[in-house]
Amino acid sequence: MRFVQDIPHPQFRIGLYAWNGKYIVKIEAGPYEQTYKISEMDISDPESVPTMLDAPFLTKVAQRFQQMDSDWQETGERNDVF
């Protein structure tokens, strides 16, 4: 996997990578990660990827991270791990 660029954001660590004919957007928050794969055929320029990461999209990403954390906490409690 080839690193293309970091995409600055105050809340998340966002990286853009290229691998196997796809651009991969990795968004990290704490111990959690969301990954989005985009075919290189669908986007002519990797510089257009950051424009896709608009406020409505990142709001949903934040909500998904909250849900991931809730799910993780619940399974830990349910299985007496936490």
pLDDT in tens, the chain (82 residues): 999 999 999 999 999 999 999 999 999 999 999 999 999 999 988 889 999 999 999 999 999 999 999 999 999 999 999 7
Distance linking the first and last C-alpha atoms of the chain: 35
- β-strand partners of 19: 22
Centroid of chain to Cα 29: 9
Domain of 18 in residue numbering reads as 2-78
Amino acid 46: pLDDT: 83
Q: What is the number of structural domains in the chain?
A: 1
Amino acid 82: pLDDT: 78
**CB of 45 closer than 8 Å to CB of 56:** no
Residue type, 60: K
